[in-house]
Amino acid sequence: MSPRRPRHPKLRGPMRTLPPACCLVLAALPLALSCDELGRNAAKVFPVLEKVDEDYAEPSIPCDPPFQSPTARNGIVADITCDSEVEGNNATGTRLWGDTFYQKAFCTPERNQWDNGPEDIYRLKVPADLEATVTMVTDCAELDLVGVSWQERSVPRTEHHSAINQCDMDIGRKGGKLRLNAVGKDWYYLVGVDGRNGETGNYRLKVKCTTFR
């Protein structure tokens, strides 16, 4: 009777789809590395890993030291418009928006303890007949991006939800993207960077405008 072949443990998760050579490289990496560091080092050898899990990609912005956001005035951190690029950290932000606000303003049906996290709120001017693509990137915390159509200088609270006719929210991982437009005349939006579950961290916000329609 021929000897039985040794059984190998099954791989689970993203590694299950990796070729044997990839697994050998992963096994050879120092065990002292954290899971994130392990994945990122492997992604340098096998770039396809970035497509398997976006957490394997190199960080797009540093997390230390903390970026400094301007001090909010009347709840607004700063005015932004086309081609604006700002860096900030929501740790010093306001606590004007939360789960109930986002639900009643029809931004999202989810509740992710945004009440516990501070938000940085910017006032975005979109010139007439343009569409602004607002992109927020972060590798430092679970931050979400929200855009509220609002023509006043003040920041709306939950009790003002019925006066909000548009609210868009991107709650994807590692940042978000919104497309906000102005038809026939200049239009204003409040763009918020909010931390779910009370999280805070560095982020970068960019605005690019193109002709709408």
What mean pLDDT do residues 144-148 have? Answer: 97
Triad 187, 77, 148: Cα angle to 5°: 35
Q: How many CB atoms lie within 10 A of CB 38?
A: 16
Give residue 192's pLDDT: 96
Tell me the fold of 78-211. Answer: Jelly Rolls (2.60.120)
Give residue 9's pLDDT: 45
pTM of the predicted structure, to 2 decimals: 0.73
% of the chain exceeding 90 in pLDDT = 61
CA–CA separation, 149 and 105 (whole Å)? 10
pLDDT tens digits along 62-105:
999 999 998 899 999 999 999 999 999 999 999 999 999 999 99
Give residue 11's pLDDT: 43
Answer yes or no: is pLDDT of 25 > 80: no
* Domain boundaries, given as residue ranges, for the chain: 13-56, 78-211
CA–CA separation, 93 and 155 (whole Å)? 13
CA–CA separation, 193 and 122 (whole Å)? 9
